[in-house]
Amino acid sequence: MTSSVFATERLLFTPATPNTDAIPTIFAFPNDYTVGITSLGYQVVWATLAMRSDMQVSRLFTDTHEQLPREPEILGFSMSWELDYVNILNLLESLEIPIRAAYRGDRHPIVFGGGPVLTANPEPFADFFDVIMMRSVKKTVPGLRLTFGCSTFVPKAHTPFQWFGVNRQAEKRLQLLQKQLKPQGIDFRPESYNWSIIQALLSRGDRRLSHLLELTRNYGDSLGSYRRAFKQLKGQIPNLDFYVHDNWSTDIVLAWNHLQGPLPQSTLIKHLADATSYFNLPQTELQPLGESFI
């Protein structure tokens, strides 16, 4: 539903008055308004589009939206978190647009996606978009001292540790920290280990995961849904351990190798070697696995 929240906004720019033949466009953030409004990347792209007189841009969030065009020609999504993919699929369905790009026709809008998640590794989500934009804007916020936040290491594409899986002992270590810090009066707030596992799955995933993502959404988008989907697709895609826990050889063909990241592969490998020299990782843990993404 539309909301009066847009009327209370104080803009730092002046939106253009759309021409009579302006392109009807929806620019969506797949989360609540209060989350999307804090995304610098989303705000910059929206402002850029809104200052064009040849575009009529309406914003869409999961809980509210501006007046939407009946027949949009362009639909864009800004994706900041891997787990928001479910909301993208839900919004597509709510707009009566096929989830997969292959099933869309001339009467459907062009669906594009951007943001840090898709910039790093778009492959698990590629089948849902017609176009993926490969640039992003990021913003960081510092925390406070007496509340100690901690998260499990999640490997990310285009970083030196993209070849490392999630440590299987991480959950026990989080529990140990909780036990040791609580008596000292420190409010320890670790991120969910199980959801970190899912983030790792999506950040190191390939295009074969699109079928798993659809099944998971249909099963209810819970942690159990992912396990159920993997069980149903057994033998059709690699198992969860391959994507999440296995350490990969630097010789493996990664799903995102065809994308140009901020640093060349040779530099990432050099940084990886420099880093691993400090914690004596057995060489056997980074041997070729005999399987690649392509």
Arithmetic mean of pLDDT, 116-131: 93
Is 16 in a helix, a strand, or coil?
A: coil
Arithmetic mean of pLDDT, 128-135: 87
pLDDT higher than 80, residue 103? yes
Span 54-93, pLDDT tens digits = 999 999 999 999 999 999 999 999 999 998 999 999 999 9
Q: Which two tokens stand for residue 206?
A: 């390939």
Beta strand ranges found along the chain (DSSP E): 23-28, 55-60, 74-78, 110-114, 131-132, 147-150, 187-190
For residue 146, the model assigns a pLDDT of 59
Mean pLDDT of the chain: 87
For residue 291, the model assigns a pLDDT of 41
Rounded to 5°, angle at Cα 250 from 245 and 252: 80
Query: What structural domains and CATH numbers belong to the chain?
Result: 22-132 (3.40.50), 147-286 (no CATH)
Nearest to 33 by CA among 61, 9, 12: 61
Biggest alpha carbon distance in the chain? 66
Q: Which two tokens stand for residue 232?
A: 């149903």
